[in-house]
Structure 1
Amino acid sequence: MNRSCAVLFAFAAIRVLSAVADHSFVDPSRVIQLSWRPRAFLYKGFLSYEECEHLVALAKDKLEKSMVADNESGESMMSEVRTSSGMFLEKRQDETIARIEQRISTWTFLPEENGEAMQVLHYEHGEKYEPHFDYFHDKINQQLGGHRVATVLMYLSDVRKGGETGKLSQLKDDSWSDCAKNGYAVKPQKGDALLFFSLHPNATTDPKSLHGGCPVIEGEKWSATKWIHVASFESQEVNGSGTACEDANVLCPKWAAVGECTKNHLYMVGSKDSLGFCRKSCNVCTL
């Protein structure tokens, strides 16, 4: 090898090592375009094995049955639509979470502050999430951050059978579950991440972004979801003392009345890094 080649080789090696050290580094060669309508992409190996294990370990002892809010009363209740268990991590809770959040921002070209806190979900045998949209049908939920423009779904475990995500059209063999055969689907593989957009580039809602989680048939499924809004999800009106004392949702009083201030503390009250959305109803601030 002549000297010039050796110099170029060394320079290339330095760039590779720098990229590895840069935790926000995104490798476009690992990204597969699944669909343009809706816009959906799969990043192979987005998370490392250690990152997957770390997120599962943080959530494992804090899981609660996934609930939905009743449209009339606002009370949290069990639903056959969503039968998983889950919990929310704090934004920038530790170095690993901060690193993943930064990488998500780099990949999606969307600011970190537009994202909700990461939610870790656990699906056991038969558990599922029926097809749904991630954008909102009401104006109340758009008051903070607007619509959810994109979703990053990270798979934290392999699933022996079932647990696929998606709809759309796709040719499939017998290795797919009956649920997944109804449309395009992604098999959960540990470390992979699915990115899809709920809005068109002109900011109108995309009805083709309908998606769901198929029932787990064999094994168990761990995943982490990051919802990203069109605007900052962290900005709130604050009083002179710097404490947010306005509820961001008209249902906050009803949620507080049924114990959500304790059961869903991160969303309702917040953390040291981000304020919750129902602080007034949870009586943690004064006007």
Structure 2
Amino acid sequence: MAPFLLVLLASLAFSPAISRPDGGGFYDPARVTQLSWRPRAFLYSGFLSHGECDHLVNLAKGRLEKSMVADNDSGKSVMSQVRTSSGTFLTKHEDAIVAGIEKRVAAWTFLPEENAESIQILHYELGQKYDAHFDYFHDKKNLKRGGHRVATVLMYLTDVKKGGETVFPNAEGRHLQLKDETWSDCAKSGLAVKPKKGDALLFFSLHINATTDPTSLHGSCPVIEGEKWSATKWIHVRSFDHPQNVRTDGPCSDDNELCPRWAAVGECYRNPTYMVGTEDSLGFCRKSCGICDA
């Protein structure tokens, strides 16, 4: 993602209301609460109507399969006791309601619809959970399509009688959140959000300078009473629908036409992780930063 786009994301919670011509992309910033700056996390009260929540649940019923996780080394989807829910992916623009929700997500996050994966519907029954994990990748295979996941929008489709909270164990200020007996023990281990039907949680997995944010570690606490339905929208730094042939190894290159301009104003030194990269993930402007072999 270009540096100027990352700067824009920092202020999204305080931007004016935005609407699309068909109304599907409307969002109201007055309903957004900033939960944390490390990680950057925001809660939208009533992002979905109850009717939209019920519609998503009904679409998923009969299509659920055991949830998988991405293997850190191979990048392949594998079964794991780390994640014990069941789920299914909808298709993009599956119907008018789904299309409207996707427009609303794009309007709120200021990120293009094409950068996002399809909505994943998840169902957690009694005792089911998802242990703490990162939404950014550790393998090169998944980085080839759209790059890292920069943001996640987690929409709660049902209330949960007890448990099922989303928890950030590494969040700064996690000890300042007051919790009573209505919170599960799992939720008390970090900054937590209770599932409430219609609410949506937005958090960023990357810093403003495009480096990965370890404070974005998060998990879904076990359901203690009732059941939990949620919908997840993962959004990448580049197009997920039309991936470019971005190299994650081999000779250095530029992956953005603006790389020479950014290099000329000193971004190679101010933002080396994005421009040059690290041992695990190559940057996007290696040629303009002058690190190619002679």
The TM-score bracket by the shorter chain reads: 0.7 to 0.9
CA separation of 1:152 and 1:71: change in aligned 2, threshold 3 A: closer
Structure 2 match to 1:279? none
| TM-fit CA distance, 1:67 | 2.3
- Sequence identity of aligned pairs in percent? 71
Which has the higher Rg, Structure 1 or Structure 2?
A: 1
Distance 2:149 2:129 in 1: 21
**Is 1:119 aligned with 2:120?**
yes
CA separation of 1:49 and 1:21: change in aligned 2, threshold 3 A: farther
Larger CA deviation: 118-127 vs 22-31: 22-31
Distance 1:236 1:181 in 2: 40
| TM-fit CA distance, 1:78 | 3.0
CA separation of 1:96 and 1:184: change in aligned 2, threshold 3 A: same
CA separation of 1:81 and 1:225: change in aligned 2, threshold 3 A: same
| TM-fit CA distance, 1:138 | 1.7
Give the structure-1-normalised TM-score: 0.73
Distance 1:114 1:73 in 2: 23
**Is 1:208 aligned with 2:212?**
no
Letter in 2 for 1:83: T
CA separation of 1:213 and 1:36: change in aligned 2, threshold 3 A: same
Letter in 2 for 1:82: R
Structure 2: any 5+ residue segments left out of the alignment? Answer: 1-16, 246-294
CA separation of 1:160 and 1:232: change in aligned 2, threshold 3 A: same
Structure 2 match to 1:222? 229
**Is 1:188 aligned with 2:195?**
yes
Structure 1: any 5+ residue segments left out of the alignment? Answer: 1-15, 239-287
- Does the Cα contact within 8 Å between 2:72 and 2:138 map onto a contact in 1? no
Give the structure-2-normalised TM-score: 0.72
Distance 2:106 2:72 in 1: 32
Structure 1 runs (4+) deviating above 6 angstroms are 18-21, 72-75
Distance 2:86 2:151 in 1: 22
Letter in 2 for 1:233: F
| TM-fit CA distance, 1:73 | 7.4
Distance 1:235 1:188 in 2: 33
Distance 1:236 1:56 in 2: 30
Distance 1:179 1:66 in 2: 21
CA separation of 1:183 and 1:151: change in aligned 2, threshold 3 A: same
Letter in 2 for 1:211: H
CA separation of 1:74 and 1:33: change in aligned 2, threshold 3 A: closer
CA separation of 1:164 and 1:174: change in aligned 2, threshold 3 A: same
User: How many pairs does the alignment contain?
Assistant: 222
Distance 2:21 2:161 in 1: 31
Q: Deviations over 1:122-164 (max 9, x none)?
A: 0000000000000011222111111000000000000000000
